Amino acid sequence: MEDFEEKESAEASSHSLNLNNASGFGEVYEIVKETVKRSLGKYRVGMMLYLDDLPFQVGAYHPIGTNSIVMNRALLHIVESTTTSRQLVNAFIYNILLHEYLHALGYTQEPTVRPLVYQISVNSFGEDHPASRLAKMGPWSLLRGLPLDEVEAPKRVMEIVKDFERSNQSYIS
């Protein structure tokens, strides 16, 4: 995981500092929306985030036609338990939410979405930021070498994340 930790510099962008210090899903999601709006000129409000225990191969999903993102709670807990770096956890969450947010904006094809996640991350944070490196290598690169086959994640009730969406603007722009 040390490979992903950014060496803090005086020139770090305000987005980088915001992402590095964000506390909670809502703050990371606000950065997702801001970076997409600046990079693509698009945004959407009214989204809801749910946490559910999904197979480890699935980081999250956006059911097309809904205002929902469902994130893999078990996978997130594994990432959180294998690093003490808030910056790295936030970069992981940013990548997952950015990917699904792009689906919610109508980018449905994976071959389109993955490069967009990388492009937006680099434009927003620079190539050396953990969010950009995760976008390039894939969020699962954090989990290399971990015995995920041996982890038993109990199935719990899906939960909604309160105060995820903070905007009261028009639906899609």
| Residue 121 CA from chain centroid, whole number | 11
Burial of 56 by CB count in 10 Å (0-12 exposed, 13-18 middle, 19+ buried)? Answer: middle
**Residues 6+ positions from 48 with CB-CB distance below 8 Å:** 67, 68, 69, 160, 161, 164, 165
Q: pLDDT for 110-148, tens place per residue?
A: 999 999 999 999 999 999 999 999 999 988 787 777 666
- Domain containing 74 equals 13-160
Residue 106 lies in a domain: yes
Q: Is residue 159 within 8 Å of 145, Cβ to Cβ?
A: no
Share of the chain above pLDDT 70, in %: 80
User: Residue 129 domain-assigned?
Assistant: yes
| 168 within domain boundaries | no
Q: Within a domain: residue 90? A: yes
- What is the number of domains present in the chain? 1
